[in-house]
Amino acid sequence: MSEKTKFWVLLVLLLLSIALALILNTSFNKVLLSS
Protein backbone atom coordinates (compact mmCIF):
# COMPACT_ATOMS: atom_id res chain seq x y z
CA MET A 1 0.00 0.00 0.00
CA SER A 2 1.41 3.37 -0.96
CA GLU A 3 1.93 6.04 1.71
CA LYS A 4 -0.73 8.16 0.07
CA THR A 5 -3.38 5.41 0.26
CA LYS A 6 -2.36 4.69 3.84
CA PHE A 7 -2.81 8.36 4.68
CA TRP A 8 -6.40 8.43 3.42
CA VAL A 9 -7.29 5.16 5.15
CA LEU A 10 -5.86 6.40 8.45
CA LEU A 11 -7.57 9.77 8.08
CA VAL A 12 -10.96 8.08 7.59
CA LEU A 13 -10.32 5.81 10.60
CA LEU A 14 -9.37 8.83 12.72
CA LEU A 15 -12.55 10.67 11.75
CA LEU A 16 -14.63 7.56 12.51
CA SER A 17 -12.97 7.26 15.93
CA ILE A 18 -13.73 10.90 16.76
CA ALA A 19 -17.32 10.43 15.58
CA LEU A 20 -17.71 7.32 17.78
CA ALA A 21 -16.37 9.18 20.83
CA LEU A 22 -18.80 12.06 20.23
CA ILE A 23 -21.79 9.75 19.67
CA LEU A 24 -21.03 7.78 22.84
CA ASN A 25 -20.64 10.96 24.86
CA THR A 26 -23.96 12.34 23.64
CA SER A 27 -25.79 9.08 24.25
CA PHE A 28 -24.50 8.89 27.82
CA ASN A 29 -25.91 12.36 28.43
CA LYS A 30 -29.28 11.69 26.84
CA VAL A 31 -30.15 8.54 28.75
CA LEU A 32 -30.02 10.34 32.05
CA LEU A 33 -32.23 13.16 30.90
CA SER A 34 -34.77 11.43 28.74
CA SER A 35 -37.78 12.09 30.96
- Which residues in this chain contact another protein in the complex, by CB under 8 A? 3-4, 6-7, 10-11, 13-14, 17-18, 20-21, 24-25, 27-29, 31-35
- The least CB distance from residue 12 to another protein, in Å, is 10
- The least CB distance from residue 11 to another protein, in Å, is 6
DSSP string, 5-21: HHHHHHHHHHHHHHHHH
- The least CB distance from residue 32 to another protein, in Å, is 4
What is the rounded CA–CA span in Å between residue 32 and residue 2? 46
Cα 13 versus chain centre, distance: 8
